[in-house]
Amino acid sequence: MDWTTALTLLLLGILGLMAFGVPVAVAFIAVNAVGAFYLLGGDRGILQLSRNMTTSVANFAFTPIPLFILMGEILFRTGLAIKAIDAVALMINRVPGRLAVIALVAGTIFSAISGSTIATTAMLGSLLLPEMLKRGYNRGMAMGPIMAIGGVDMLIPPSGLAVLLGGLAGISISDLLIAGVVPGIILSIVFIAYIVIRAWMNPALAPAVEGPKVHGWERWKPFCLNVLPLVLIIGFVIGSMVAGWATPTESAAVGCTATAVLAALFGQLRWKAVKEALTGTAAVTGMIMFIILGATTFSQILAFSGATSGLVSIVTEANLSTMVVIVGMMAILLFLGLFIDQASIMMLTVPLFMPLVKHMNVDPVWFGILFLMCMQIGLLSPPFGLLLFTMKSVAPPEIRMSEIIQAAIPYMIFGLILTVVILFVPEIATWLPRLLQ
């Protein structure tokens, strides 16, 4: 069987099973098993597949994923997140679109201590959306920032999807995490500026809502007690990787421990919260491990079938420039983001894209950030963006999906603009990792 036929059958098999509602990881494993049987030699192929599966999930590079997820779970389950939101709200006053700005600032802080985009959006949506609607905020002005900042979670470390991409693609996880800091902060600043300018130009979109009248230490006290410790944890997690004091896994373990200690000091580390945090972490981690298992073995079967080398040869013989190939890859990612979740996109594309990236000597960190930017846009892309459905789940029943999609569109455009800028100015992504090497 030639490689084009093998590649076509493998992809059609995966997409067909997904179309029938089979879970993504199960679809990959089933197709991998069939591929291993026919391409690797019957029973011996199945045996080799099982060995490869065991090896793939035993990779030490993936260890930070459950620890980063647990950090966020502890933060949300113990109520520390709510205390931080209240403290941020006291600090921000007399700003156009104040509640939307609070959502963006608080979401940026949570992005730096939670590895889950969906958890950030769900929490901010359930806490702040009702208050904004009650105060007369335009629905788009209320929902858009909450969804947008959830997408930023993918860029700002610790990011579970960044670790997953780094592990699958063979990109330095610490460099990829650090490289996401600048684009993530740029997006947050752009979103805040957009909200403030729109609310200033049209106050009816976001009626003025002043915060409580507190001054001096009473205003700063909640920030120092509830936000500053989180900032210090974030700083140490990122700083320890940057300084080379700790690996991403060790940094994640320290951050997770520090978050638990902080919850205990506030008297919030109760058994119920611990149980919910551990259960939530186990569920998400289990799903991610199956994704890793399926994607890694799929990559190996592609290589054995000759599809990987065949695709590299086609691109080489076509004499396409590196920029044209990268733009083509980004277009594919953006298109897939309309229909497929981010983890599934990684499973489908990383085994095909990374051999080309390595062959063309493209900076893997730069490519990784471009990849994550496309994933961030995909979270907001209709009709199946995950954050659109997350918002629908926490929004009042009378809000239609069309309104949620309309609220997300400006932030998709900002993400697309920044992606283009990074495409032509790679230093935005690569400057910080190189500076700190």
Q: What pLDDT shows up at residue 212?
A: 63
- pLDDT (average), residues 284-311: 78
Q: What pLDDT shows up at residue 208?
A: 73
Domain boundaries, the chain: 1-58+288-305, 59-269+306-435
**Are the beta carbons of 59 and 299 closer than 8 angstroms?**
no
> What average pLDDT does the structure give for the chain?
83
CB-neighbour burial class of residue 217 (10 A; exposed 0-12, middle 13-18, buried 19+):
exposed
| 211 pLDDT above the threshold of 70 | no
Element (H, E) at 156: none
pLDDT class of 215 with cuts at 50, 70, 90: low
In terms of pLDDT, which residue wins out, 121 or 416?
Answer: 416
36-45, 103-112, 419-428: which is most confident:
419-428
CB-neighbour burial class of residue 412 (10 A; exposed 0-12, middle 13-18, buried 19+):
buried
User: Which tokens belong to 124?
Assistant: 């901010």
| 238 pLDDT above the threshold of 80 | no
CB-neighbour burial class of residue 224 (10 A; exposed 0-12, middle 13-18, buried 19+):
exposed
| 339 pLDDT above the threshold of 80 | no
Lowest-confidence segment of 30-44, 80-94, 109-123, 190-204 by average pLDDT: 109-123
Q: What pLDDT shows up at residue 408?
A: 92
Q: If we measure between CA atoms, which residue out of 70, 1, 67, 71 comes closest to residue 34? A: 1
pLDDT digits (tens, 9 = 90+) for 376-413: 898 888 877 888 888 888 888 888 889 999 999 999 99
| 155 pLDDT above the threshold of 80 | yes
Q: What pLDDT shows up at residue 210?
A: 61
**Phi and psi at residue 314, to the nearest 5°:** -60, -45
pLDDT class of 209 with cuts at 50, 70, 90: low
| 230 pLDDT above the threshold of 70 | yes
Q: What pLDDT shows up at residue 214?
A: 66
- In 259-393, DSSP assigns E strands to none
| 287 pLDDT above the threshold of 90 | no
pLDDT digits (tens, 9 = 90+) for 111-125: 766 656 777 787 788
Q: How far apart are CA 73 and CA 281, in angstroms?
A: 7
Q: What pLDDT shows up at residue 1?
A: 65
Q: What pLDDT shows up at residue 154?
A: 80
pLDDT class of 171 with cuts at 50, 70, 90: confident
